[in-house]
Amino acid sequence: MNAQPQARLQALPPVTLVLGGGRSGKSRYAEGLMEFLAPRIYLATAEAGDKEMAARIEEHKQRRGRGWQTVEEPLDIAAALNAHSGRQKPVLVDCLTLWMSNLMAAGRDAEDEVEALVDCLGGLPGPVVLVSNEVGMGIVPDNALARAYMDNAGRMNQVVAAAAQRVVSITAGLPRVLKDTEVAPGK
């Protein structure tokens, strides 16, 4: 690894959370954080349940291009992070809110799963960038399932943001750093 990618890798804190609304540019921003790093892992939580979602997944793959090892894991992202993270191998998780949908559809306990994720984040050997939608900035949904999803996603984002050293909000493709905690060398 030459000096520039090594410096970029060292510039990534252990945990970065990138938040934004739908089509805000959050995934593109998160991918850019790892643009010159290799190898790098893309941990995808989406499942192609219909043609529209399959097209979205393909659009993401095309935009990323080569240089990414894609790991598809819709439910057990803590285990996948533990299996694929390495000192010189950053991981991008895209996205936590799709993961939350998957958990709820599978009848899994959202609070326990988020706790397991946060517990694993502190012990990873390499940096991780997590992407999540900010879903609570609009109208409160009119049905119980949608409200439960919004509540679970909001609580998840708060817990992950508290565990992250850097939190960035993306609006209209523009990043705003919400949190940037200094990390001691070697951490």
Which residues does the annotation mark as catalytic?
60
Of 110, 125, 120, which Cα lies nearest the Cα of 157? 110
Contact indicator for 15, 130 with CB cutoff of 8 Å: yes
From the centroid of its chain, how far is CA 108? 19
Q: Give dist(CA 33, CA 18) in Å, integer.
A: 10
Helix crossing, 144-163 with 96-105: angle to 10°? 130
Q: How many CB atoms lie within 10 A of CB 162?
A: 11
